[in-house]
Amino acid sequence: MDTLFKPIEIEKKPKKIANRILAYIASGQLKAGDKIPAERKLAESLNVSRASLREALSYLEMSGFLKTVPGGRSLVKNIIAEPEDNPLQILLKEDKKKILELAEIRAFMESWAAKEAALKRTAEQLRTIERHLQEMEEDFDQGIIDFKKDLHFHLAIAAAVNNTIFSHLINMIYDLIEFSIQSTREKLYTSREDQELILKHHRNIYETIQAKDPVYAELAMQEHLGFVIREFKKRFK
């Protein structure tokens, strides 16, 4: 028994900082792709030295939770997988059928996400979804097609599920098929009629989430992604 109980180590400050940041990631307050505030600002916010903060960030980077991007900032990595580490990315680039398979999985997941978002979204999350919809509407009025605004609309719905693991999973899928989303959104569905229909789909999705109607939110997302998949099949025969 004497060897069982050992002195309790006092947690060092860098470890405390790392654990605080990890708690934000675990709770979903920090999501995959979010940039960590600049070092000076973050050190001031946490009331810690920049040396302790650097040590904590270095630990989180080595552990696979953060990565450094150009400019020296750190951002939250996808804890499921990084696309550059994923051989599936190679398969997707080589075989359009694999893109379709992943798109069908995405449709299943996002239909569920729309239903959950209708039940769980906060007022702030709804405003974020609405903002991305308004950006798409402004682009439509100006004849602009920007797939990233479409992407941000869908990711905002995924975030409104308030499920950290799901958020990372859907981010991984979007990382893997981002190039195909861009090609379909900006090269295939370019007619005014296609763009108007897609915008109508997004408006329906938003309104059902706004109304907190999980049944119709799920159906609205199924209608939208079902159209995308059917058209993809037709145009890539």
| CA–CA separation, 112 and 150 (whole Å) | 18
**DSSP letter (8 states) at residue 83:** G
Question: In this predicted model, which residue has the larger pLDDT, 236 or 71?
Answer: 71
| H helix or E strand, kind and range, residue 67 | strand 66-68
Express each pLDDT in 19-50 by its tens digit: 889 888 887 788 888 888 888 898 888 888 88
Q: Looking at the predicted structure, is the pLDDT value of residue 130 above 90?
A: yes
Find out whether 147 and 189 touch, Cβ atoms under 8 Å.
no
Find out whether 213 and 232 touch, Cβ atoms under 8 Å.
no
**DSSP letter (8 states) at residue 87:** T
Find out whether 150 and 135 touch, Cβ atoms under 8 Å.
no
Overall fold of domain 83-235:
Four Helix Bundle (Hemerythrin (Met), subunit A) (1.20.120)
Amino acid 27: pLDDT:
78
Same fold yes or no, 13-76 and 83-235: no
Whole-number Cα distances in Å, 62 to 53, 56, 68: 14, 10, 11
Give the mean model confidence (pLDDT) for residues 63-89. Answer: 74
pTM attached to this predicted model:
0.69
Question: Where are the domains positioned within the chain?
Answer: 13-76, 83-235
Q: Looking at the predicted structure, is the pLDDT value of residue 219 above 90?
A: yes
Report whether CATH 1.10.275.10 matches the domain 13-76: no
| CA–CA separation, 135 and 180 (whole Å) | 21
Of 32, 46, 154, the closest CA to residue 103 belongs to 154
pLDDT bucket at 153, cuts 50 / 70 / 90: very high
Q: Which residue has the tokens 């719905």?
A: 157
